[in-house]
Structure 1
Amino acid sequence: MFKRTNVRYPRPSLKSLLWGSLGGSAGILAVIIGVGLYIVETLTRPKRLATFALYTFSPFELGIPAEDVTFPSLHNDYQVNGWYVPHPGATTTIVVSPGYRGSRSDVLGLCALLWKAGHNVLVFEYYGHGTVVGMPVTLGYREINDFLGAVAYAKQRAPEARLGAVGYSMGAAVSIMGTARSPEIEALVADSAFATHRRVVEFAVSRTLHLPFIIFEWVTDLILWLRAGYRFNQVEPLRDIARISPRPVMIIHGMKDTIVDPHDAPLLYKAAGEPRELWLVQDVEHCGAYFFDRVEYMRRVNEFFDVYLRQRTPVSPDTDTDAQSEGPTSLSEAI
């Protein structure tokens, strides 16, 4: 028979346990900081457009009399690029802004249709996002100065014209914040706007990392302040939208949006004062409502500006709109 012997295993000392836990905590902290750095760098890093991206449609192909224009941002620290399309006898001007890293050509089709409806049109691209690159961008914090510069330029070009605005994605969020600060804008269409800076980052993190954003929120917010000079709570259309009333707001959003949480639209709608409109479009991706049904989209947008900028009585369409295009009939259905 084998003789049984007692084997004593060395007990880890308190010191080794402490160092081990500190090492593990340091590793977790390093991962959290790394993710925060990646989020901020991805968000703000300049991105030069590929050469072929610069060769796209222009007003020339659509036969509209657009002028290449530049105007200063609010603080006159750089020039913003745009197209101004004057319409003879127009009593209204619509300011159109594309989204994050978008160019003015992205929304050229809408601009042409607005011009054909009798509006002057000013479309611009946020500095650093479109054809002019090379400097860090933000998600609305600095870009609001471009929007306010566009409003001033539109008023300068047609002082007697009443102003409206259409924005997409980040451009819609900026248009909400800018309209709240610009009494000159009398009617706003916001397509695929995010409710807050934090929410749009949280939505992206949850879809890509499948982890709760609260793990990375504090460090991302700190790095954003250190690298870009602002914090999440300084970009909140949800806070500003109530200040637009009694001027009207139309909110449009695709319910299959994978860039901005579709629930942001009802949040903005709830926060907005009257008059307000909400159009939620089923089975449509980010900024896709126009492409889903161009006729219905332009009918709604043109009627909105006719009613609130031209004081015309709305006319109901002859036929019922596709139910899929109409979206939910109540806010509770959207939420």
Structure 2
Amino acid sequence: MMNKAKQNWGRPSWKQMLLGGFVGGGIGVLGAIAGVGLYIVDTLIRPKRQTNFIEQYTFSPFEVNLPAEEVTFPPLYGDYEVSGWFVPSPGATTTILICPGYRGRRSDLLGTCVNLWRAGHNILAFEYYGHGEVVGKPVTLGYREINDFLGAVAYAKQRVPETRLGAVGYSMGAAVALMAAARAPEIEAVVADSPFATHRSPIDYAVRRTLHLPFFLFDWMTDMILWWRAGYHFNQVEPLRDIGRIAPRPVLIIHGLKDSIVNPNDAPLLYKAAGNPKELWLLPDVDHCGAYFEDRVAYVNKLVNFFNLYLKEMPAPIPLPERKESQAADSDGHHFSEAG
């Protein structure tokens, strides 16, 4: 009797084996999903160190005869310094903030910088901390970087307080510029080149293009790992939610329809959510942030005409007293930044 019981215990029934298979398979699938989510988040936030001479040596303002001054300034929140170039233009009444995107360097912006400077604007070009030449703590996709942009706004207002401010951003920098402009009424005109509509969007786009799987399979797990590893959730970085707060200040959205990094469908979504005045410039055969290289003359003319109209010819869309009231209201609300 005892031997028979032991024999039955040693041989699981087909029901037990099936249940074990389901459990084991479920654990395996969950582990695979968690593995993909962890890979996505670690790839996103891991600092990238320069590994070869091509990355270490690049063009500077010297090569284009740009009288740039090396500057640093603190972010709105944080214990580090943001690196930038300030380029004064004699008699300028305007200052344009220019920022690159994810892993971008300020040297990537020289073409835009020199042409807007020649058009009579002061230039403050900067790179997000940890993304460019300075590699420090882990980066994010706009959540902490907005502090750097708002620090640039404060620096510009302290350096040239009499000038009107505009902004040009690329990729993540464009998304950050939109979110920051919604919080900083000093920014009177925004050009956003290849911005994403939500934090989730470029990750979804990358997963579908590389793994050929729908991102919803990994969405929840990736969001939880992002909170665990970086301290924020996807929905805390959404230019689509913020862009409507920029009006009546103008927004120009630029996007290539062959973009392989940010879904081109994000541009019409942002345009629809924005208030007037607004403009959408779509280029049919252009990849990510490639509009400048597709037609440099047309691109420069578009930006120069945009800032000339809204910063030099037209009066400020928001009177100074209302700007101060808006700032006070924002300071009492929930901060977007890491410190908040």
Q: Alignment partner of 1:186: what SS?
A: strand
Q: Look up the equivalent residue of 2:28 and give its one-letter code.
A: G
Q: Alignment partner of 2:188: what SS?
A: strand
Query: Is there any run of 5+ residues in structure 2 with no aligned partner, and where?
Result: 1-10, 316-340
2:18 aligned residue: 17
Change (3 A) 1:127 1:280: same
Match 1:249 to one of 248, 251, 268: 251
Q: Aligned partners of 2:114, 2:128: CA distance in 1, in Å?
A: 20
Q: Look up the equivalent residue of 1:137 and give its one-letter code.
A: V
Instruction: State the Cα distance separating 1:12 from its structure 2 match.
Output: 4.1
2:279 aligned residue: 277
Match 2:186 to one of 165, 168, 184: 184
Q: Aligned partners of 2:215, 2:93: CA distance in 1, in Å?
A: 47
Instruction: State the Cα distance separating 1:54 from its structure 2 match.
Output: 2.1
Any conservation in 1 of the 2:141–2:199 contact (CA below 8 Å)? yes
Q: TM-score, normalised by structure 1?
A: 0.89
Residue 121 (1) aligns with residue 123 (2): yes
Instruction: State the Cα distance separating 1:14 from its structure 2 match.
Output: 2.1
Give identity over the alignment, percent: 69
Match 1:81 to one of 80, 83, 86: 83
Match 2:136 to one of 134, 137, 145: 134
Report the aligned-residue RMSD: 1.3
Q: Look up the equivalent residue of 1:44 and give its one-letter code.
A: I
Q: Aligned partners of 1:60, 1:42: CA distance in 2, in Å?
A: 34
1:109-258 to 2 correspondence within 5 Å?
109-258=111-260
**Structure 1 or 2: larger helix share?**
2
Match 1:305 to one of 304, 307, 310: 307
Residue 101 (1) aligns with residue 103 (2): yes
Q: Aligned partners of 2:21, 2:98: CA distance in 1, in Å?
A: 57
Query: Is there any run of 5+ residues in structure 1 with no aligned partner, and where?
Result: 1-9, 314-335
For 1:108-162, what per-residue CA distance to the aligned partner results, in whole angstroms no more than 9, with x for missing partners? 1110111000000000000000000032100000000000000110111100000
Q: Look up the equivalent residue of 2:106 and give its one-letter code.
A: R
Stretches (4+) displaced over 6 A: none
Structure number with the bigger relative contact order (C-alpha 8 A, sep ≥ 6) is: 2
2:64 aligned residue: 62
Any conservation in 2 of the 1:32–1:216 contact (CA below 8 Å)? yes
1:35 aligned residue: 36
Match 2:296 to one of 290, 294, 298: 294
For 1:242-287, what per-residue CA distance to the aligned partner results, in whole angstroms no more than 9, with x for missing partners? 0000000000000100000001000000000000000001100000
Instruction: State the Cα distance separating 1:63 from its structure 2 match.
Output: 0.6
Q: TM-score, normalised by structure 2?
A: 0.88
